[in-house]
Structure 1
Amino acid sequence: MMRYLQRRKARIEIVPMIDIMFFLLVFFIMVTLNMIPATGIGSRLPSSSSAERLESSQIVIGLDAAGMIGVDQQILTLEQLGALLRERGTETSVIIAGAEAAALSDLVAVMDACRLAGITRIGIATREPGA
């Protein structure tokens, strides 16, 4: 009878807590990986059979068929784009994601703005043929 009346020392089960922490860690890693790709103007990229995969860029510039320039879901003018690129510095790499129907003159204007800001690493986003 005395055995049941004794106070037992409380134990903290650590294994379920570790399981929960690993689950949360995996959950946040997966959410972060889905947030990393830059979002831009929804457009159909031109295809290229000789395209190479580049390292992830720091800035993705979207160029739609109407000539609108977008960076991080903000519409910019060429002057604003140049100012943004100058703020980021000359070591910044840029990828231009132009729509398939975008005018060549708009693409050249964006590339000129990049070059005037001192950016030397400029890539053009494409898709694989048939994709």
Structure 2
Amino acid sequence: MARKTNYLGHEEKARIEIIPMIDVMMFLLVFFVLIMIEMIQGAGITLDLPQSSSQDPIESVTLNIGVSVDGGLYVDGQLIDDQQLSSRLTDMKGTGKLDVVIAGDRGSHYESIVHAMDLVRGAGVSAIGLATQK
């Protein structure tokens, strides 16, 4: 191990500076947190999802549709009507494989969720999933 000699003749041992290493680790932590926030997809509204004991994660989700208690349909946090949803699904279906997840609030009517599924199927999308909590 190399030793340095200062101007008074005393030898100093080499040491590892920990502060720059902490800075780099904090930078990496912030980077990964920001990336994960972008990767987590949501309906953009607060929903109280029902629970399920048998759920399978969907690997690639392209579009999330939220169904509120009053039956409103939400895409990217924006209230959307049936015709707008159908045209958006048709446009997205033309770009390639489309997976849709419907997140219905716990208090929403079954009829509203089935209506959303009918709109998705009417646009020619067959890969439909229902969001639940574990």
TM-score by length of 1: 0.75
The answer for the alignment partner of 1:48 in structure 2 is: 52
Q: What SS is found at the alignment partner of 2:118?
A: helix
Residues 6-85 of structure 1 aligned to structure 2 (within 5 Å): 24=27, 26-40=29-43, 41-85=45-89
For the residues of structure 2 that align with 1:105 and 1:64, how far apart are their CA atoms?
12
Question: After TM superposition, what 4+ stretches of structure 1 lie above 4 angstroms from structure 2?
Answer: 19-26
Amino acid at match of 1:92: L
Q: Percent identity?
A: 30
* Contact 1:38-1:72 at 8 Å conserved across structures: no
Moved more, 119-128 or 51-60: 51-60
Structure 1 runs not aligned, ≥5 long: 1-16
Deviation at 1:22, TM superposition (A): 7.5
The answer for the alignment partner of 2:103 in structure 1 is: 97
Deviation at 1:26, TM superposition (A): 4.9
Structure 2 runs not aligned, ≥5 long: 1-19
For the residues of structure 2 that align with 1:26 and 1:49, how far apart are their CA atoms?
32
Aligned residues: 113
Deviation at 1:31, TM superposition (A): 0.6
Deviation at 1:46, TM superposition (A): 0.9
Amino acid at match of 2:49: L
The answer for the alignment partner of 2:119 in structure 1 is: 113
Match for 2:91 among 87, 90, 93?
Answer: 87
Please list the CA deviations of residues 50-82 of structure 1 after superposition, one character each: whole Å capped at 9, or x if unmatched: 222221311111111111111111110111111
